[in-house]
Structure 1
Amino acid sequence: MKVLQKYFAREIGRSVLFVLIAFLALFAFFDLVAELKSIGHGGYTLQKALIYVALGLPGYVYELMPIAALIGSIWALSQFAARSEFTIMRASSMSTAMAGGMLVRIGLVFALVTFLFGEFVVPHTSVMADRTKMLSQGQTLSSEFRSGLWTKDTIRSEGVTGTAVGTRFLNVRTVRPNGDLEGLKIYEFNSNFHLTSLITARRADYQGGNQWTLHDGSEARFGETDLRGATSASDLTNAISTVAFKSRPLISEVTPEILSVGFAEPEQMSALDLMSYTQYLAENNRETARYEIALWKKIVYPFAVFVMMALALPFAYLHFRSGGVSLKIFTGIMIGVSFQLINSLFAHLGLLNTWPAFATAILPSALFMLAAVAALLWVERH
Structure 2
Amino acid sequence: MSLLARYLGSQVMAASGFVLLALLALFAFFDVIQELGSVGRNSYGLGQAAVVVLLSVPGHLYEILPIAALIGTMFALARLVGNSEYAVMRVSGLSSWRMAAYFGVIGVGLSILVLALGEYVSPWSDQAAQRYKLSATRSVVAQQFRSGLWVKDGTSFINVREVMPDNTLRGIEIYGFDAAGRLGWIRAADQADWLGNQTWRLDSVTETHFDANGIRATRSTQQNWQSVLTPDILSVLLIAPEKMSARTLWRYVGHLKANGQKAARYELALWTKFISPFVIPIMMLIAMPFAIQGPRAGGTSRKIFFGILAGLAFHLLSRLFGHLGLLNDWPAILVASLPLMIFLAVALAGIRWMDRR
Alpha-carbon distance in structure 1 between the residues aligned to 2:188 and 2:22: 58
Distance apart, 1:219 and its partner CA:
7.1
Task: Look up the SS of the partner of 2:128 in the other structure.
Answer: helix
The residue aligned with 1:244 is 208
1:129 and 1:185, CA in 2 relative to 1: closer, same or farther beyond 3 A? closer
> How big is each residue's C-alpha offset from its partner over 1:288-347, in whole Å with a ceiling of 9 and x where there is no partner?
111000000011122100110010111343123321110000000010011111112211
Distance apart, 1:274 and its partner CA:
0.4
1:201 and 1:7, CA in 2 relative to 1: closer, same or farther beyond 3 A? closer
How many residues in Structure 1 have an aligned counterpart in Structure 2? 301
Alpha-carbon distance in structure 1 between the residues aligned to 2:16 and 2:39: 34
Aligned partner letter, 2:57: L
Long gaps (5+) in structure 2: 163-170, 177-182, 190-205, 216-233
Distance apart, 1:203 and its partner CA:
2.6
1:217 maps onto 2:186 in alignment: yes
Alpha-carbon distance in structure 2 between the residues aligned to 1:294 and 1:104: 24
1:182 maps onto 2:158 in alignment: yes
Alpha-carbon distance in structure 1 between the residues aligned to 2:118 and 2:38: 28
* 8 Å CA contact 1:111, 1:302 repeated in 2: yes
The residue aligned with 1:331 is 306
The residue aligned with 1:22 is 22
1:318 and 1:43, CA in 2 relative to 1: closer, same or farther beyond 3 A? same
Distance apart, 1:260 and its partner CA:
7.9
Long gaps (5+) in structure 1: 143-159, 161-169, 187-198, 205-213, 221-241, 248-258
Aligned partner letter, 1:283: A
Aligned partner letter, 1:298: K
* 8 Å CA contact 1:200, 1:217 repeated in 2: no
* 1:1-382 matched pairs, under 5 angstroms: 2-140=2-140, 175=151, 182=158, 201-203=173-175, 216-217=185-186, 244-246=208-210, 263-382=238-357
* 8 Å CA contact 1:202, 1:217 repeated in 2: yes
Task: Look up the SS of the partner of 1:287 in the other structure.
Answer: coil
CA-atom RMSD in angstroms: 3.2
Distance apart, 1:217 and its partner CA:
2.4
The residue aligned with 2:225 is none
Distance apart, 1:216 and its partner CA:
1.6
* 8 Å CA contact 2:39, 2:46 repeated in 1: yes
1:215 and 1:282, CA in 2 relative to 1: closer, same or farther beyond 3 A? farther
* 8 Å CA contact 2:112, 2:277 repeated in 1: yes
Percent identical residues: 38
> How big is each residue's C-alpha offset from its partner over 1:154-196, in whole Å with a ceiling of 9 and x where there is no partner?
xxxxxx9xxxxxxxxx9x9x8459xx9538799xxxxxxxxxx
Aligned partner letter, 2:267: E
Q: Which of the pair has more CA radius of gyration? A: 1
Aligned partner letter, 2:300: V
Distance apart, 1:379 and its partner CA:
3.2
Aligned partner letter, 1:315: F
Distance apart, 1:57 and its partner CA:
1.2
* 8 Å CA contact 1:266, 1:294 repeated in 2: yes
* 8 Å CA contact 2:67, 2:308 repeated in 1: yes
Task: Look up the SS of the partner of 1:42 in the other structure.
Answer: coil
Alpha-carbon distance in structure 2 between the residues aligned to 1:185 and 1:296: 26
Alpha-carbon distance in structure 1 between the residues aligned to 2:208 and 2:349: 72
* 8 Å CA contact 1:218, 1:243 repeated in 2: yes
The residue aligned with 1:233 is none
Task: Look up the SS of the partner of 2:238 in the other structure.
Answer: coil
The residue aligned with 1:207 is none
